[in-house]
Amino acid sequence: MRKPKSAARNRSARTRSGSERPGRERSRRKPGAVLSVVILAAGEGKRMKSAIPKVLQPLTGRPLLKHVIDTARTLEPDAIHVVYGHGGERVREVFAAEQLSWALQAERLGTGHALLQVMPQIPGSHIVLVLYGDVPLITRETLEGLLALAGERQVALLTMAPESPHGYGRIVRGRGGLVQKIVEEKDATAAQRAIRECNSGVLAAPAQLLSRWVTRLKSDNSQGEYYLTDVIAMAVKDGVPVHAVCARDASEVLGVNDKAQLAELEGLCRKRHARDLLLAGVTLADPARLDVRGTVRHGNDVFLDVNVVLEGAVTLGDRVRIGAGCVIRDSEIGADTEVFPHCVIDGARIGPDCRIGPFARFRPNATLAGEVHIGNFVEVKNSRLGEGSKANHLAYVGDAQLGSRVNIGAGTIVANYDGAMKHATVIADDVHTGSNSVLVAPITVGAGATIAAGSTVTHSVPPGQLTIARAQQVTIPTWQRPTKPGK
């Protein structure tokens, strides 16, 4: 029997919106049990119609496999083993920084064959938890419940009760609720087809017994594959109890096989994140039009308008308002700040009571003190703006340090790049730059200085004075505009 092929839905292990991750509960595994997690991730994913391996397809900004690895880590296993195959070296490169053990399935001959590749690496005294790289939304709570039923002479099987059991293997229970067998739908009687409980493919078993069972698997089926779930029949035959626990939400254990199912999961994650934020007190203009692709911490009375995207680690202070169509990535926004529509904020630290946008862009290492105004079509990169400073229209501020109460006029450019190197500009307190000015770094502008409109400043500016750096205006009365021949 094969792992079910369908889209997944669930409430995944999550970071609570607006707070640190809650303290983890004590593991419910049996005392002394040592856990090894095996993630089967060798599938090619032809139905994805993509050059990207299936387990690297993105879900809420992270590869499918990353979701599974992160959940597995919350169980504090002794080791996490990943069985890889299609696109294997690319998969390993993506997860090079992770502490993982890898096993190659050179020939993809089914889930049982995949597990066989890794079993020699696992001590016989361990409990083995088998997960799937394309089942990304299974929760820690569900897995803890499953592991509580596994032991030295016990197998635990995760089941589900989907809205429609069509196509799934049915779970037939015997005395005491133990699993008696798994019956494929094509082989089931009418009474068995009426059973709602179905197999998920996720299981936990003692390594010593599991290793013995997978070596006995046969490929005498229409696909010529070795099915992992055949070990359930072996366990029953050997008198080993098989306990089953049904996932609270069937969507936790459904797999991803094509882009339509991947999009369905994205929608389910969107709904789950929105609900978490709403329950934590955030106001959402439309819960269906919010994308959270990371973790969000927030204060009270935060408002998010439609089509907001939050990526990476985002922190929103009390009473922050985010306008429609904004993208915020790995940034902190202070209390009482309002971000107007269609801003992109990436790697920025924005202080309290600021006004941002619309159509502003922050590149990494932009830092704003309190009460700063950044207006439409202004870009800030690797710069710090002091308290009360303003750049209200059509400006670029790069690699600059601005003091307090600086006013950057419309069209001002801090020209930080000479074609090879970046250079710094220092602008002291209370400086005003006129419209359409260019400050060619590296320069320093002294406190209280004013730069006249249209100036191109290439040398440092003294404090408290007006600096004009522009060509003299000349009118030529005898000049005539060129015309085309024949006119």
SS3 350: strand
| Residue 295 contacts residue 15 (beta carbons within 8 Å) | yes
- Distance, CA of 124 to CA of 51 (rounded, Å): 38
Q: Phi/psi class of residue 178: alpha, beta or left (left: φ > 0; alpha: ψ in -120 to 50)?
A: beta
Distance between CA atoms of residues 149 and 246, nearest Å: 12
Asked if residues 460 and 445 have their Cβ atoms less than 8 Å apart, the reply is yes
Q: Where are the alpha helices (DSSP H) in 216-326?
A: 230-237, 259-279
393 among known catalytic residues:
yes
Contact between 360 and 376 (Cβ < 8 Å): yes
| Buried b / exposed e along 119-150 (16+ C-beta atoms within 10 A) | beebeeebbbbbbbbbbbbbbbbbbbbbbbbb
Question: What's the distance, Cα to Cα, between the start and end of the chain in Å?
Answer: 85
228 closest CA partner among 214, 240, 215, 245: 214
Catalytic residue among 126, 393, 432, 459: 393
Distance CA(81)–CA(457), nearest Å, equals 60
With CA atoms as reference, report the closest residue to 155 among 98, 191, 209, 102: 209
87: left (phi over 0), alpha (psi -120 to 50) or beta: left
Which residue spans within 207-357 are E strands per DSSP?
Answer: 242-246, 283-284, 290-298, 303-304, 308-316, 321-322, 327-329, 332-333, 338-339, 344-346, 348-350, 355-356
φ and ψ at 127, to 5 degrees? -95, 135
Distance CA 81, CA 117 (A): 10
For residues 288, 377, 298, 136, the Cα torsion angle rounded to the nearest 10 degrees is 50
Query: Do 252 and 269 touch, CB atoms closer than 8 A?
Result: no
Short-list 378, 382, 422, CA closest to 402 = 382
Half-sphere exposure (Cβ direction) of 364: Cα atoms closer than 13 Å: 1
Query: Mind telling me the catalytic residues?
Result: 393
